[in-house]
Structure 1
Amino acid sequence: MHFSTIISTFLTLGVSSVLAAPTTPSFIDTTSSTGNYQDVSDYFNLLAKKALNSHFMSVAPVCDVNSAVMSESPVPLEPPTAGLTLHHVAIGRGVQNYTCANSSSAPEAAGAVATLFNATCLASTHPEIANILPSVALKFDLSDGDRNSAFPRISLFPSNLAVSGKHFFNSDGVPFFNLDTPAASYGKASCAKDAAESAPDTAAKGQKGENAVAWLRLNTTDDGTTGSIKQVYRLQTAGGSPPASCEGMDSEFSVQYAAQ
């Protein structure tokens, strides 16, 4: 796959880092999410299979980002612009924000906030695990791996992926990806939505049964973008959609979501 994108996106067999044991967050156990218990089971079964197979490998998996393959929605998004190459893959875990004018109105989108975790090597070595991670990540809240530290480390249970940045909307309502951290600099991207397609019917529901938000293709703009990032894709979404009506909702509310 050849393109200079971030895919807003975890445990990488053969390339994972060793971290202090994080605080284990609680499993989100709700009646509406019981249909997705299978995803968590599938995740750990995949890890067990990969661990077993690793004993018979003569060399460790190679982190070749060019071997990563983009997932396709039921109605595929346009492919990356010709000539671009893959730049970064991440798991995004956070919230979609909404506002309500009154109880009879429909919720209005008001941006999103998410922490991004570096899954670039995982997407190239074990794409089937990378594809299921958003659903699994949504079953757990983000945890602070060191609550006594002056600089707490956020962790995405059950992975040990390093934080690669933040996703948020700036004061002008523009979606922004900041992939510059003290550990690494991947660039910054100010974006405009180019295309959207509904998530598959099989996409993971949210913590309270919410539908998955759409898959997106975004193009970067010159305002605030650094480096050579040109396009961003949001794929493999889980949860994040609002209810159809504002009845019973606060004037401002958030819905948990995850994405690749």
Structure 2
Amino acid sequence: MKLVHMAYATTAASVALSGSSTSPHGASPMNCNVADIQLHLPAEQTVLSPPNVTLSYVALGLGVQNYTCSNTSTWTNVGAVAELFDISCLYNTPLFDPISNAAFAAWNVTPEAPLDLISAFSGNPIVLGQHYFIPSPTGSGVSPKFDFTSAREKGHPEAFVVGAKVGDLPAPTGKGDVDWLQLKSVQGELASTVYRLQTRGGQPPASCKQGSPPLSVKYAAQYWFFGSSLTK
């Protein structure tokens, strides 16, 4: 079964993540119009609210969720690191919905870094940027940052967003998948709202022994960026 997943992941990643990376600001680098794409959130939930601004990008994130063992012998999330690839133009194609499954199946069984993995499939992946955590602007804890300044928007100093959580929904896809999130911007011009959806993996074991070394758990997710205020 893993071989089947790997074969499908190779095909999906090659189609989804290769192509030209030149286009105007605010448009997908694969030269498709994303402005009319609608985000569909799970019904009968109220913690994630629909966006009221225009979509700018849809990214596939591949990376790790990082944890430390707390004094209650449970794993505590201390952030994540992920590479972000453009899948905006896959919307309304047969590859869009299963891309998280396909990419995670490959990522979960390889020792390579995400960029090396996708490069092996496609040779020329469209990298939007990177996701990592920084000290919170509030001065307490850490905050998620999505940074396109060294990739998709290289040279644009405000092509990032630092987010604060608005809502947090247990993943409808399964208990092993990290939560779905809605974030609002507190810094940067890349987006005013960011959603993490269609997650795969990333959850730690239920407990740990105090003194255990930090744990990194592989995951995949879709990240939807709305309300960019970047200008040329």
Do Structure 1 and Structure 2 share a fold, with TM-score over 0.5? yes
Alignment correspondent of 1:52? none
Q: Does 1:167 align with 2:127?
A: no
Alignment correspondent of 1:195? 167
Q: Does 1:246 align with 2:217?
A: no
Distance 2:127 2:4 in 1: 27
Matched AA of 2:163: C
State the SS of the aligned residue for 2:55: coil
Q: Does 1:235 align with 2:197?
A: yes
Alignment correspondent of 2:100? 134
Alignment correspondent of 2:150? 181
Alignment correspondent of 2:186? 221
Answer yes or no: is the 8 Å Cα contact 2:80–2:133 preserved in 1: yes
Matched AA of 2:176: N
Alignment correspondent of 2:70? 101
User: Structure 1: which 5+ runs fail to align?
Assistant: 1-33, 48-60, 146-152, 204-209
Say if 1:167 and 1:107 are closer, same or farther in 2 by CA, change over 3 A.
Answer: same
**Structure 2 length as normaliser, TM-score?**
0.69
Answer yes or no: is the 8 Å Cα contact 1:241–1:255 preserved in 2: yes
> Aligned Cα RMSD in Å?
3.2
Cα offset, 1:100, TM superposition: 0.4
Name the larger-Rg structure: 1
Cα offset, 1:74, TM superposition: 5.4
Query: How many residues align structurally?
Result: 191
Q: Does 1:73 align with 2:42?
A: yes
Matches within 5 A, 1:15-94: 63-73=32-42, 75-76=44-45, 77-80=48-51, 82=52, 84-94=53-63
Cα offset, 1:41, TM superposition: 6.8
Matched AA of 1:258: A
Matched AA of 2:219: Y
Matched AA of 2:205: P
User: Structure 2: which 5+ runs fail to align?
Assistant: 14-29, 137-141, 223-232
Matched AA of 1:190: V
Distance 2:6 2:219 in 1: 16
Alignment correspondent of 1:27? none
Alignment correspondent of 1:6? none
